[in-house]
Amino acid sequence: MRSVILLVLLLVANPSFAVESDKVSHFAGSAALGGVADSVVYHTATQMGPGERVAASTGAALVPGFIIECVDEFSGYHFSWPDLLAGALGAGTGSVLGELVNGQFWISASGRQVRLIGHW
């Protein structure tokens, strides 16, 4: 449990030199879009499994980030693969969190272990 707390503290205590604020904004924006997209897919596409929902919502949430990078390329800035990677990681994280919120996964914690349990 201490290692989980330490990992969370390291992720929250983000020194300014470790990650650029631009990457954080790409990650956060895509994570929000991923959560919303997963919620929409969860409630509308009931025939899809959880893996298919996560993949579809991650792809849908990544589209605005890709468009932003294409606009950057043609407006004088350069296409940034690290920005797109941060967006992809954020979209995936938001999609998985959307599944958690919508009730497909359950977190089970007892004693010395924390498990992610699927309910489907």
Is the pLDDT assigned to residue 107 strictly greater than 80? Answer: no
> Using one digit for the tens of pLDDT, what is the confidence trace for 20-45?
778 888 999 999 999 999 999 988 98
**Residue 88 is assigned to a structural domain of this protein:** yes
* Band (92; pLDDT cuts 50, 70, 90): very high
Q: How many domains does the chain contain in total? A: 1
Question: What are the residues whose beta carbons fall under 8 Å from the beta carbon of 39, sequence distance 6 or more?
Answer: 98, 101, 102
**Residue 67 is assigned to a structural domain of this protein:** yes
**Residue 68 is assigned to a structural domain of this protein:** yes
CB atoms within 10 A of CB 104: 18
Structure tokens at 97: 């969190």
Domain that holds residue 30: 20-118
